[in-house]
Amino acid sequence: MDARNDVTYVRDISELTINDAEEAGGKGANMGELAAAKLPVPPGFVLLRDCYRDSMRAGGVDAELSALHREALDNFADTGRLTELCERMQGLVHKAGVDDAIQRLILSAYHRLGDGAVVAVRSSATGEDGADASFAGMNATITNVSGDDGLLDAVLRCWMSLFSPRVITYRASRGFTSDPAMAVVVQQMVDSEKAGVAFTADPSTGAQDRVVIEAAFGLGEVVVSGKVEPDTYIVSKENPQPLDIRLGHKAFKIVRGDGGRDTVVDLDEAQADSRVLTEEELRSIAQLAIATEKHNGCPQDTEWAISNGETYLVQARPITTLGHTTPPPSAKHVVLARGLAAAPGIASGKVRVLETPEEGDRLQEGEILVAQMTNPDWLPTIRRAAALVTDTGGMTCHAAIVARELGVPCIVGTRTGTRDLHDGTTVTVDGARGEVVSGRVEPTPTVSAAQRPVPAQVAAEVTGTKVYVNLAMPDSAEAVAAQAVDGVGLLRAEFMLTEALAGRHPRDLIAHGEQNTLVEKMVSSVGRIAAAFAPRPVIYRATDFRTNEFRGLKGGETYEPVEHNPMIGYRGCYRYVNEPDLFALELEALARVREQSPNVGLMIPFVRTKWELEKCLSLVDASPLGRQRGLHRWVMAEVPSVVHWLPQYIGMGIDGVSIGSNDLTQLVLGVDRDSDVCAELFDESDAAVLDAIGQIISTARKYGITSSLCGQAPSTKPAFAEHLVRMGITSVSVNPDAVDTARRVIAAAERRLLLEAAR
């Protein structure tokens, strides 16, 4: 084909304005606006979307791409089908390639940048970088590109990225149904010594009186991808002076190496913790970001780079999330600590930094508990705290689980909270944003879902898949039981046992002949929950303390081994086999509860092998509990070996399996679920995890036993819930505050399946 004219296909960045967004994409048009405002933008050009469209048309694949794209949007929740469709669409784009006439125009514009120019090739899809949808980081960006062949290959890779599963899912979730098209920005590379992002409003609070700047050494990829913890600077717009500076730990930087390839350079401790930006550089970046906002007329998300003393803007787009934030604190409320938002809610109070649970009596009612990390022995202290902040931990750590159930706002993984927050200082903890700010911020009064029953006039969704709850303590049993729930799918023993032990190791009680006290207290706690939910099932998971948690109890050092990795150490089923006298106390307590409430079942956690479960079940059978009629015996599916052994477990009398998605994910992917450093690797939706879950559910269906999954993913990730429903799971178990959401999501998935079956 013959190209119609140069400007139909290729335009210099300096010639573009926001009015060209349809042809140049959001990224290309925004860069043109920056150039028009005389802001420092690296030189370059944009391949307009007709380069893509006409190349696909010339290659004879446009009609098939359109049909496959519509099918992909309809099947975005089916991971396997979506992956297959995306591979087919990307193959078609690669087959069509870049039309010959358009190739000549691209290379002509490239050569005008200079011989052997090293460029960044960045996707600029229609609908990208707008005020309503950012597509941030979803389509391809290829850096350090040089040479004619390298450039054409990078352009083709950008076009192919239109059809990745994550882009299709994002388009479907935002209601974008038209055929996508791709413009491509080609810009001279800035060999940056420092780089990062600058927001002209605080994206976490919505405050528009400040610029939030994140910075790291080397190329900016380490900031936008979250590979390092950047410095964070908050600068006043009125007078570009820093309001707050937090230095991050930049363990490495990425630089352009020989041949234009990116190279990772490790930084020593002093460099890693050193400040990135000087005062002058900070002011320069803030002023450029403010100028961008003034030119575009709305808050901006910009990317910048510093090379040879010059600061460049390499991207700008409207901030897409400000409309969804709650009212920000006033400027006087400086951010003192940030971490992972683990339990929602806002609470103000005085800080109390504690090192051990034995210091718990120092915390006064309503103070903010700050600790390096918590274990179950902290429970009495957490109950009295207005909020909880920890240095370490992830979204599924002990602190997060307990705080969510108690309705205590919680932030985990702040890394330096115990150093940055000081006893007696009044602060406000925002558990939804993951921030601790100075001073007192009065929240809007709210009542947690766990504290209020579903109103009688509101009819809950009816689902074939049962919706259970996870519980750990009896305090909220009656309120939660009043909700539209089908029972308790996971009753954790650890926290009730901690209170029953009063901080002592169970063997310390046995040594003093006080084991009956332990049994009585467990009967009281479990019995209260069982009675509240009767006749609905309550599945009690036997104690699954790890050795490091047991050692924290009084006398624990005498009885507990020291393990380097207690997460996969002496715990669960194997421990019961080796310490049958302790296990017998739990079985006795359950037997007494079931005399009044036969709706209680037993679940054995962390089962690794057939022989240990065999021995464990023989202990159950020999106990008063095992001799009771109608006892349901479950296993937790946390260890990947359950995929192989489950048929034989069922043959031994197991009639229920509950997938512990937190432990199963960490063991399939090899990532510590409590690590804030590796948080982005922890993904229950990873294909390997979903495959293991699918095999467990399939086996349960084959042998006619109950299958369940306990975790938050079914309520927070609709696609994950749909996977479970399609697999045929019989129930899910979620935290009390997620019941309504989980039921709505599951009901929608079941309706889609019925509609598909009716076609």
Q: What is the β-pairing status of strands 488-492 and 410-412?
A: unpaired
Of the residues 398, 410, 505, 573, only one is catalytic, namely 398
Give me 81's structure tokens.
Answer: 């089908």
Nearest to 243 by CA among 202, 281, 203: 202
Angle at 502 between CA 500 and CA 507, to 5 degrees: 80
Spell out a b/e string for 254-271, using b for 16 or more CB atoms within 10 Å of the CB, else e. bebeeebeeeeeebeeee
Judge whether 384 and 365 are in contact, CB under 8 Å. Answer: yes
Q: At residue 156, what are phi and psi to the nearest 5 degrees?
A: -65, -40
3-state secondary structure of 3: coil
Q: Is 710 a catalytic residue?
A: yes
Judge whether 375 and 497 are in contact, CB under 8 Å. Answer: no
CA-to-CA dists, residue 40 to 159, 295, 481, angstroms: 28, 14, 61
Judge whether 701 and 728 are in contact, CB under 8 Å. Answer: yes
Of the residues 51, 573, 710, 723, only one is catalytic, namely 710
3-state secondary structure 582-614: HHHHHHHHHHHHHHHCCCEEEEECCCCCHHHHH
Neighbour count for residue 341 (Cβ, 10 Å): 20
Judge whether 596 and 528 are in contact, CB under 8 Å. Answer: no
Side-chain half-sphere CA neighbours of 638 within 13 A: 23
The residue ranges of DSSP E strands in 569-704, in sequence order, are 600-604, 633-637, 656-660
> CA 359, CA 441: separation in Å to the nearest integer?
28
Judge whether 27 and 128 are in contact, CB under 8 Å. Answer: yes
Angle at 538 between CA 533 and CA 543, to 5 degrees: 135
Catalytic residues: 398, 710
